[in-house]
Amino acid sequence: MSKFGFLELAHKILQEENKPLSVEEMWQLAIQKGYDTLLGSNGKTPERTLGARIYVDMQSNVDSVFSKASTRPTRFSLKNIKITENNSPPLIFMNSSKSVSKNDFLEKDLHPLLSYFASIHLKVYTKTIRHHTSDKKEFGEWVHPDIVGCYFPLEDWQADVFELSTVVGNTSLRFYSFELKRELNLSNLRESFFQTVSNSSWANESYLVAAHVSTNEDFRDELRRLSTSFGIGVIALDIQEPDASEIIYPALRKDNLDWDMLNKLSGMNNDFKGFLKRIKNDVQSKEIRKEWYDKVLPIDDIISLFSKDI
């Protein structure tokens, strides 16, 4: 049997078992069947990688064959498999001794989760911008985003194509701006949204990000209207299952950067200035120095940040 990737592995296991499975169950079956030896990966947490690949495929591929069959625990199925009483997952009651409420964490605690999501699902390298290092006279809170990021085509393009793009002045770098909130609801929507607008005019894509996004119908209608009108995307982070985080509304991608604002931010904040310098150096050297960006923690470490004894 020839080697295959994570998605092929998931498809094969789900097809053979003909029932919804969690990624942990899929991986245990892969070991039992000897399929793990045919997987072209030496990662330390293959079951987590398996879950991330399925989520990315579901979110970005309109023709994805996967679907979510249940939550807590999350189980996946194939779209062409009809779930019946015979193959439906058993009811499992989760241990409630470890949980987190929406007020048990700070905004800064969400940074590792957003960096993980941006890395895995957007292929973006992030950098946290520390507001306290900025020139306070310049109204930094309404100028600086919480996290900035960059997508490098270095990892997706052939070397000669990238070199040609550099020569003609078009590297297809994409700059991202992220404004983080613990919660979004009707009471803070307008302030949070227009703070994001103010902080993100310089970027190609801009997002308002929160761990708790209200499902109130009036709120969602207004959020959708604002997102469409101003091109600001919205990301809902899932603190219990990071790979289940999703882009509720995509950002409108702008082709041109606001160079005046880039210059202003660079002069106000050393973190932002260092971010721009790092990108320039990485493009010139054709090597991404990952250690200079926000560290992407393993998913288990991220989950543990939000698991507290009550």
> So where are the chain's domains?
6-78, 107-301
The pLDDT value given to residue 302: 86
Task: Classify residue 165 as exposed, middle or buried by CB count within 10 Å of its CB (0-12, 13-18, 19+).
Answer: middle
Instruction: Please list the rounded mean pLDDT of every run of 10 residues in the chain (310 residues).
Output: 82 92 91 86 75 85 87 82 62 42 75 92 91 61 83 70 62 88 94 91 94 93 95 93 88 90 89 91 84 87 70
User: Longest Cα pair distance anywhere in the chain, in angstroms?
Assistant: 66
Instruction: List the beta bridge partners of residue 235.
Output: 209, 247
The pLDDT value given to residue 120: 85
Q: Which residues of 171-194 are buried (b: 16+ CB within 10 A; e: fewer)?
A: bebbbbbbbbbbebbeeebeebbe
The pLDDT value given to residue 308: 57
By the 8 A CB rule, do 231 and 284 touch? Answer: no
For the chain, the first-to-last Cα distance in angstroms comes to 49
The pLDDT value given to residue 207: 96
The pLDDT value given to residue 309: 41
- Element containing residue 291 per DSSP (H, E): none
Q: Which residues of 58-67 are buried (b: 16+ CB within 10 A; e: fewer)?
A: beeeeebbbe
Structural tokens at position 70: 């249940």
